[in-house]
Structure 1
């Protein structure tokens, strides 16, 4: 792959409504859009999904930008390569910074697929024509959360994820289950609980949740293994799974029954595909999580979700769920709870240059020649 340049766009857009968890309220979403151009003029797109502050992981937009500019782009340019997987492996020499790695590696995978004139989903082995879509309800009072759920169900979403914490769990889950007895419902704790809250988590079993996502510490595998033996509801690991080694450890410890695979959290496709295959080999269910993304990352999530085994509805809601106007020319649209895979080359979307310019905070291009 002969790379001519890499361009980093730092952008910011207000959400249509604040996204609330017990950790953070997000009103304005910053991010990094990565363009990788080859010597023939083709461009691949990636997205850095770190937040402005380190509430989800230790990475931020500023630290990701520094790592991309000063470490990863020079490392990519260090010697020739033929396939983006080589870069995924090359980046293993850099500790952490998974979201920065993913942003550049995703762009390279998109470019590689465009060079082959094939959809990216086909190159990674995808088969699913339709992707099941779920949506997320941010934390709030019970009445407000039920109203959000009603609106999402009316739009056709087949799975609702609700944010919970020890201060707000049983009541909202009970109300949602009463209102929607057949709905696929899962709870996301974002590490709000400890083993001392075991009784609270056991009390959620009666509501037949699809799963409880990341109830304990963000880097924990051992206590999740202990908890899984004490509750009937499957545990889904999110923040705890960053590398394939983490996945192997979780399998060995029986720490979970489900894994949420996020390209940004695990460092891109090379790592994500290895984690996916480990899960398939050990009968652990998988689904694709979201990060309040812009359209570029959302399109990459669609490509990943075409893989066999992604049968749980993912966090792939319509662009209009978050944004008045997205930064891609063809916004992602959910119809009756499903999204059609994108058939164009690469990730199947292009940048809306006018909208990108309107929301850009900065732009910097780095030569690779």
Structure 2
């Protein structure tokens, strides 16, 4: 693979229903895409999972754009004879994991054949509404993730009374304070799979006897391999949410999955309100997860996408085929 050119594109699509989390409310999803072009006129695309601002992670879309251009300028007309050589070129981006992840998504395709597959359907509900409930009843996911609110126990009861069996997860995004402690302790009676990131600091888990805690997962704190190993070694962490954009890409996630299996810690692959391109690779990784991951079918978040047939709901699971990107819908910015 000889790197000849890159193009960068912007895309922004409104959500079907606003995304409401303990940290932010979003009406639309702006994303950045890279198109890597080889000397043989082969085109490979990658999707950026960072956001416009640093509300979720320090690296923003602007940072990713700048670092991608720098990387390309350094490696323009360079030939990568193997996937390992391509990985080596991305080592300089270890401090910019969202950038590395986007470029890795494109580069990975140059050295690996993409396949079709099915994965479990894991819905995330950010703000319970009639629209969300109707969507759940119509699509029947294997797992539902609820974002933490002051009404979380009420929301759990509503989900538990849906006309189908579903595994339940709660995501607190590090937002539980003293006012929410009693609700947090009450979660153990609902037999949830796990709660993601209950507290800002893991030390707060030591306030509780293990028997009164639901299984705990880390997400925001799963930023590097060393940080993950440190957390699972010091605290009772049952599940780790692995996100490619946070760890630096597909290859880094595969490596972390193998490490966590040795520690006997469960793995879930996390999504980022992503479009069809990134969702394919999140789903690809989710084949190796222990629980249903953040995988939604086409049309769940957006009416339109840059990939057609990006996750088709079939018989309770989601079918994925190698993505074809429609650049006509995007704005070229480089």
TM exceeds 0.5? yes
**Matching residue of 2:291:** 312
Shift of 1:320: 0.8
Shift of 1:225: 6.4
Q: Which of 247, 252, 256 is the equivalent residue of 1:271?
A: 252
Q: Would you say the 8 A contact 1:59–1:97 is kept in 2?
A: yes
**Matching residue of 2:186:** 203
Shift of 1:353: 3.2
Shift of 1:203: 1.1
Shift of 1:198: 4.0
| Gapped regions of structure 1 (runs ≥ 5) | 122-128, 343-347, 365-369
> In the TM superposition, what whole-angstrom CA distance separates every residue of 1:200-219 from its partner, at most 9, and x where no partner exists?
311111111111011122xx
CA distance in structure 2 between the aligned counterparts of 1:206 and 1:238, rounded to whole angstroms: 23
Q: Which of 110, 133, 143 is the equivalent residue of 2:121?
A: 133
> In the TM superposition, what whole-angstrom CA distance separates every residue of 1:305-329 from its partner, at most 9, and x where no partner exists?
223xx24222111221122221013
**Matching residue of 1:41:** 41
Residues 1:296 and 2:291 aligned together: no
**Matching residue of 2:174:** 191
Shift of 1:298: 0.7
Evaluate the alpha carbon distance shift between residue 228 and residue 188 of structure 1 in structure 2; reply closer, same or farther with a 3 A threshold.
farther
Q: Would you say the 8 A contact 1:162–1:186 is kept in 2?
A: yes
CA distance in structure 1 between the aligned counterparts of 2:146 and 2:190, rounded to whole angstroms: 13
CA distance in structure 1 between the aligned counterparts of 2:57 and 2:203, rounded to whole angstroms: 20
Shift of 1:62: 1.6
CA distance in structure 1 between the aligned counterparts of 2:47 and 2:267, rounded to whole angstroms: 22
CA distance in structure 2 between the aligned counterparts of 1:95 and 1:226, rounded to whole angstroms: 35
CA distance in structure 2 between the aligned counterparts of 1:299 and 1:19, rounded to whole angstroms: 21
**Matching residue of 1:345:** none
Evaluate the alpha carbon distance shift between residue 75 and residue 206 of structure 1 in structure 2; reply closer, same or farther with a 3 A threshold.
farther
Q: Which of 275, 278, 284 is the equivalent residue of 2:265?
A: 284
- After TM superposition, the score normalised by the length of structure 1 is 0.82
Equivalent runs, 1:317-328 vs 2, <5 Å = 317-328=296-307
Q: Would you say the 8 A contact 1:149–1:160 is kept in 2?
A: no
CA distance in structure 2 between the aligned counterparts of 1:176 and 1:135, rounded to whole angstroms: 12
SS in 2 for 1:319: coil
Shift of 1:91: 3.7
Residues 1:229 and 2:229 aligned together: no
SS in 1 for 2:106: helix
Shift of 1:297: 0.3
Equivalent runs, 1:104-115 vs 2, <5 Å = 104-113=103-112
CA distance in structure 2 between the aligned counterparts of 1:195 and 1:247, rounded to whole angstroms: 26
CA RMSD after TM alignment: 2.6
| Relative contact order, higher structure (CA 8 A, sep 6+) | 1
Evaluate the alpha carbon distance shift between residue 80 and residue 230 of structure 1 in structure 2; reply closer, same or farther with a 3 A threshold.
farther
CA distance in structure 2 between the aligned counterparts of 1:102 and 1:24, rounded to whole angstroms: 23
Q: Would you say the 8 A contact 1:131–1:339 is kept in 2?
A: yes
Q: Would you say the 8 A contact 1:290–1:315 is kept in 2?
A: yes
> In the TM superposition, what whole-angstrom CA distance separates every residue of 1:167-226 from its partner, at most 9, and x where no partner exists?
232222233224468420110111112478543311111111111011122xx4544566
> In the TM superposition, what whole-angstrom CA distance separates every residue of 1:291-310 from its partner, at most 9, and x where no partner exists?
11111101111221223xx2
Instruction: Give the aligned length.
Output: 334
Q: Would you say the 8 A contact 1:221–1:240 is kept in 2?
A: no
Shift of 1:109: 0.4
Residues 1:161 and 2:145 aligned together: yes
Evaluate the alpha carbon distance shift between residue 319 and residue 275 of structure 1 in structure 2; reply closer, same or farther with a 3 A threshold.
same
Evaluate the alpha carbon distance shift between residue 25 and residue 254 of structure 1 in structure 2; reply closer, same or farther with a 3 A threshold.
same
